[in-house]
Amino acid sequence: MSITIKDVARAANVSYSTVSRALKNSPKISAKTTEKIRRIAKELNYIPNAVARELSSQKTTTVGFIYNIGTHKSNLDPIMEGIEETVAKEGFQLLSFNSRENLKTEHNYLRFLHEKRAEGILIFPVITEEGSNLSYLKSLIKGNIPVVVIDRYFPELDTDYVVSDNFGGAYEATAHLIKLGHRRIGYITGQEYQTSVYDRLEGYKKALEDHRIIYQKELIKKVAPKLPSSIEEGWRATKDLLKERPTAIFTYNEIATVGALKAIREEGINVPEDLAFIGFDEVAVASHIFMPLTVVMQQAYKIGEMGARMIIERVKHLHQKKDCLETRHISVKTKLLVRDSCGAKLKGRMKVNLEGDIDGFNS
């Protein structure tokens, strides 16, 4: 049963009109009360009637975007920007919902978009240790509702997706450290039920294999499956990893990066003089606090733009009643941004190039 404004008012112990005004950011309602009402509305998964009416009216072609910022998505803003600008250019209406990395919340939004007949759905899916909404997504696709997945994907789901080249990005970062002479490269990773995490780990392993370096399990440390991911988990995993005396560390996301740098600083280790460091994804704050970080950069805007184009093409194709489009799987290239933390700019640094020759490397 749908949550109504009455349910929110009852839970917040205020009148219906107060809820309505708070959700419209009325200056007549105090900031404290507005914050309380908005929090309760989110907890109850309340969707304002105006949104439902907009969908039901079908005056414009509406697509939904279900994202989550329960974890580490510093690249979410450019992804959303890419989606919003592309959808607007086509004259489509976009409705966005944050699942907050919660399976039930995501399921409720999927059901809402289905019931209100959204013509297509973009989703940055929730995938946890408990599972996913894969079966519901399959039922939507079977019911001829276009679905495009971004950032993470399901190998068993026959639908379009656009993701970063996580394998290639991790491979390039690891190979770069090897090129600088490192052989004991520690890796902080996450839970492999998420495809982005799995692909990054595989890229790390493949780089070691191609350069004839033995894969050592003790140099791999996982953050615990907590949602949202925490800086403390990255800190804990790095403390454990440092006991193995790596000469370089590579982290799988920006939250792990912040935790890792905190642990490294506490141990009195100098980066990059004593320990080389590379992170996956930009961490602007960390670069200001610690040093300019070498990172694997994702083309987040392009991912959003391409995902939006794919869902628009699907919807238009459906309207024109043409033969089925082939399923498209797109992997967007990453870029290694070399700064100070990997040690490549240290004067006199020796490097091993990919052919195995050793030569002097001067910045």
* pLDDT number for residue 54: 54
* pLDDT number for residue 361: 29
Tell me whether residue 53 is in a domain. no
Name residue, tokens 């009325």. Answer: 26
Q: What is the CATH number of the domain that holds 17?
A: 1.10.260.40
Residue 314: closest CA among 329, 324, 303: 324
Q: Say whether both 347 and 238 belong to one domain.
A: yes
Q: Say whether both 176 and 251 belong to one domain.
A: yes
Counted domains in the chain: 3
Q: Say whether both 306 and 290 belong to one domain.
A: no
Residue 94: closest CA among 68, 125, 118: 118
Tell me whether residue 51 is in a domain. no
Query: Does an H or E element contain 287, and which?
Result: helix 284-289
Q: What is the edge-to-edge ordering of all strands in the sheet holding 276-280?
A: 220-222, 185-189, 248-251, 276-280, 294-297, 335-337
Q: Say whether both 200 and 282 belong to one domain.
A: yes
Name residue, tokens 């052919």. Answer: 355
Nearest-angstrom CA–CA distance, 46 and 19: 11
Q: Say whether both 186 and 308 belong to one domain.
A: no
Q: Say whether both 264 and 342 belong to one domain.
A: yes
Which pair of tokens denotes residue 331?
């992997």
Query: Does an H or E element contain 255, and which?
Result: helix 254-266
Q: Say whether both 184 and 277 belong to one domain.
A: yes
Whether 335 and 296 have beta carbons less than 8 Å apart is answered as: yes
pTM of the predicted structure, to 2 decimals: 0.80
Whether 210 and 164 have beta carbons less than 8 Å apart is answered as: no
Nearest-angstrom CA–CA distance, 81 and 335: 20
User: Which residues make beta-bridge pairs with 278?
Assistant: 250, 294
Tell me whether residue 5 is in a domain. yes
Query: What is the sign of the dihedral through the CA atoms of 133, 137, 143 and 145?
Result: positive
Q: Say whether both 312 and 348 belong to one domain.
A: no
Query: Does an H or E element contain 312, and which?
Result: helix 300-319
Q: Say whether both 8 and 143 belong to one domain.
A: no
Query: Does an H or E element contain 97, and which?
Result: strand 93-98
* pLDDT number for residue 145: 93
* pLDDT number for residue 63: 95
Whether 106 and 62 have beta carbons less than 8 Å apart is answered as: no
Tell me whether residue 116 is in a domain. yes
Which pair of tokens denotes residue 185?
């490269």
Q: What is the CATH number of the domain that holds 76?
A: 3.40.50.2300
> Buried b vs exposed e over 345-359: b needs ≥16 C-beta within 10 Å?
bbeebebbeeeeeee
* pLDDT number for residue 75: 81
**Mean pLDDT, consecutive 10-residue segments, the chain of 363 residues?**
77 86 78 88 73 54 87 76 93 91 94 90 93 96 94 94 98 98 97 94 99 98 76 95 98 94 96 97 76 95 97 90 84 97 75 36 30
* pLDDT number for residue 229: 63
Tell me whether residue 52 is in a domain. no
Tell me whether residue 84 is in a domain. yes
Q: Say whether both 159 and 192 belong to one domain.
A: no
Domain extent at residue 79: 59-163+301-332
Q: Say whether both 246 and 341 belong to one domain.
A: yes
Tell me whether residue 54 is in a domain. no
Three-class DSSP category at 220? strand
Q: Say whether both 270 and 356 belong to one domain.
A: yes
* pLDDT number for residue 101: 86
* pLDDT number for residue 363: 29
User: How many residues make up the chain in this entry?
Assistant: 363
